[in-house]
Amino acid sequence: MIMPGLSYRRLLIPALLALLITACERDNTMPPDPGKEAFNFIVTEAQHEYINASRGEQYEVTDPLPVLEYAGEEYTIHRFEIRGDNTLNFERKGFGLNMDRRLTFPLPDGSGMGKYEEFKLLAMVYDYTYIENSVATGFFREAGLWPVLSFFTEVRLNGRTQGLYHFIEDPFEFFIERAYSSFVIRRGYDHVIKASSANPAKTAEIDSYKKRFKRIYESLPRWSGKQLYDTLSVYLDLEQYFAKIAIDLLLKNGDYTDELIFYTKIADGKELFGVFPWDLDDIFSDQPHEIGNPWGTGTVFGAREYYSMEDIYADVGEKLLYSVEDDLDYIIAKDDFLYNRYLEILESVIEKTDISVIDRVFDHTSDQIGPFYEVDSIIVQSVHDEDETNNALFRTNLEEKRQMIKERREWIAGELRKQKSLKE
* Type and span of the H or E element at 400: helix 391-423
Does the structure show a pLDDT above 80 at 20? no
Return the SS3 of 100: strand
Q: How far apart are CA 7 and CA 17, in angstroms?
A: 16
212 and 235 Cβ atoms separated by less than 8 Å: yes
The domain limits of the chain are: 36-169+354-424, 173-352
Q: How far apart are CA 117 and CA 124, in angstroms?
A: 22
* Predicted local confidence at residue 243, as pLDDT: 98
Q: Within 10 A of 71 (CB to CB), how many other CB atoms are there?
A: 15
Does the structure show a pLDDT above 90 at 423? no
Does the structure show a pLDDT above 70 at 22? no
254-269: burial string, b at 16+ Cβ within 10 Å, e else: bbbbbbbbbbbbeeee
Does the structure show a pLDDT above 90 at 39? yes
332 and 342 Cβ atoms separated by less than 8 Å: yes
Cα 284 from chain centre: 16
Q: What one-character-per-residue DSSP string does 221-289 give?
A: TT--HHHHHHHHHHHB-HHHHHHHHHHHHHHT----TTSEEEEEEEETTEEEEEEEE------S-SS-T
Q: How far apart are CA 70 and CA 167, in angstroms?
A: 14
* pLDDT band, residue 105 (cuts 50/70/90): very high
Q: Within 10 A of 197 (CB to CB), how many other CB atoms are there?
A: 18
State the average pLDDT for the chain: 92
* Predicted local confidence at residue 235, as pLDDT: 98
Cα distances (angstroms) measured from residue 247 to each of 30, 219, 288, 327:
36, 25, 14, 18
* Amino acid (1-letter code) at residue 275: V
Percent of the chain with pLDDT over 90: 86
Give residue-wise pLDDT tens across range 261-272. Answer: 999 999 999 999
Q: How far apart are CA 254 and CA 386, in angstroms?
A: 17
Q: How far apart are CA 100 and CA 65, in angstroms?
A: 11
Higher pLDDT, 10 or 228: 228
Give residue-wise pLDDT tens across range 360-395. Answer: 999 999 999 999 999 999 999 999 999 999 999 999
Q: How far apart are CA 257 and CA 304, in angstroms?
A: 15
* pLDDT band, residue 33 (cuts 50/70/90): confident
* Predicted local confidence at residue 334, as pLDDT: 98
Does the structure show a pLDDT above 70 at 335? yes
180 conformational bin, left if phi > 0, alpha if psi -120 to 50, beta if neither: left
Percent of the chain with pLDDT over 70: 92
Closest CA to 379 of 129, 158, 132, 166: 129
Whether cis (ω within 30° of 0) applies to the bond prior to 108 is: no
* Predicted local confidence at residue 31, as pLDDT: 57
Give the predicted TM-score (pTM) of the model: 0.90
- Burial category of 178 from C-beta neighbours within 10 Å (exposed 0-12, middle 13-18, buried 19 and up): middle
Q: How far apart are CA 390 and CA 313, in angstroms?
A: 39
* Predicted local confidence at residue 32, as pLDDT: 63
